[in-house]
């Protein structure tokens, strides 16, 4: 009888220790079970950082008339650095690239950067900076879906062409993520009919399957004239004003 009571007391004494062990084990397992939800999503950057650039665009538009049925280039630095007027001299081209921009910036300034021009076509290069700033593929796809749906709603006669996110030496470490985003957006364009996906990545690889450094500027991020010449050739057949393809 005395031994039974002793065992019972020992069991009670061990219970707090066992309970503590269980809590520690649960805390160790939580990151693996819910790791994807535990990491906070990367937030959109402050769009007001573009105040000066947007003001400059507004000043240019007030000073100069813009063409009807324009071909509008929008997106990040790959658009900003593209000599689009020189590349397509016979076409009514408008370039409204913002170096370093995210898709959310184009949506925030949609009326100023896009809608007011009522373009026949929109050439969009975007998403690379989003991914470089650690946004997920799902975030980039959702942002692009929002942007493309808005174009369809507010500019129903406008054709949207998406240029695939390019491989480049500087950001080669996140290429798999870029490629996954390209596949997601390509599938979205094909299933929704709201955009046209153009493969502007394949010609930028060399025979070893890595970005051809001869097509990039010294920073390893942006295209050089030879790289843009390839993009010009890919895009040109899609820029006839009377064609939706």
Domain boundaries, the chain: 1-39, 49-238
Q: Where are the beta strands (DSSP E) in 85-158?
A: 93-97, 121-125
Q: Are 177 and 131 in contact (CB under 8 A)?
A: yes
Measured distance CA(182)–CA(188) in Å, rounded = 10
- Residue 43's pLDDT band, with cuts at 50, 70 and 90, is very high
Q: Which superfamily is assigned to 49-238 in CATH? A: SGNH hydrolase (3.40.50.1110)
Q: Residue 180 CB: number of other CB atoms within 10 A? A: 17
The mean pLDDT of 216-235, rounded to a whole number, is 98
pLDDT at 27: 43
Q: Are 95 and 87 in contact (CB under 8 A)?
A: no
Measured distance CA(226)–CA(78) in Å, rounded = 14
The mean pLDDT of 106-134, rounded to a whole number, is 97
Token look-up 């010609």 returns 203
Question: Residue 163, SS3?
Answer: strand
- Residue 84's pLDDT band, with cuts at 50, 70 and 90, is very high
Measured distance CA(196)–CA(109) in Å, rounded = 22
Measured distance CA(127)–CA(103) in Å, rounded = 6
- Residue 240's pLDDT band, with cuts at 50, 70 and 90, is confident
């Amino acid at each position: 009888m005395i031994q039974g009571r002793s065992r019972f007391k020992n069991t009670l004494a061990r219970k707090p220790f066992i309970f503590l062990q269980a809590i520690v084990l649960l805390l160790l397992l939580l990151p693996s079970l819910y790791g994807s939800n535990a990491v906070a999503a990367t937030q959109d950057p402050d769009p007001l950082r573009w105040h000066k650039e947007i003001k400059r665009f507004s000043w240019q538009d007030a000073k100069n008339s813009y063409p009807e049925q324009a071909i509008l280039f929008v997106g990040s630095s790959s658009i900003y650095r593209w000599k689009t007027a020189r590349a397509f001299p016979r076409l009514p081209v408008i370039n409204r690239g913002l170096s370093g921009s995210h898709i959310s910036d184009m949506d925030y300034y949609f009326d100023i950067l896009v809608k007011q021009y009522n373009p026949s076509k929109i050439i969009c290069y975007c998403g690379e900076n989003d991914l470089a700033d650690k946004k997920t593929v799902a975030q980039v796809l959702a942002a692009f879906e929002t942007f493309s749906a808005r174009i369809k709603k507010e500019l129903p006669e406008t054709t949207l062409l998406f240029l695939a996110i390019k491989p480049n030496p500087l950001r080669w470490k996140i290429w798999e993520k870029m490629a996954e985003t390209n596949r997601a957006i390509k599938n979205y364009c094909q299933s929704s009919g709201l955009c046209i996906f153009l493969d502007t990545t394949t010609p930028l690889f060399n025979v070893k399957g890595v970005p051809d450094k001869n097509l990039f500027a010294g920073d390893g991020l942006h295209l050089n004239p030879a790289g843009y010449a390839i993009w010009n050739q890919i895009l040109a057949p899609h820029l006839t004003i009377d064609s939706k393809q």
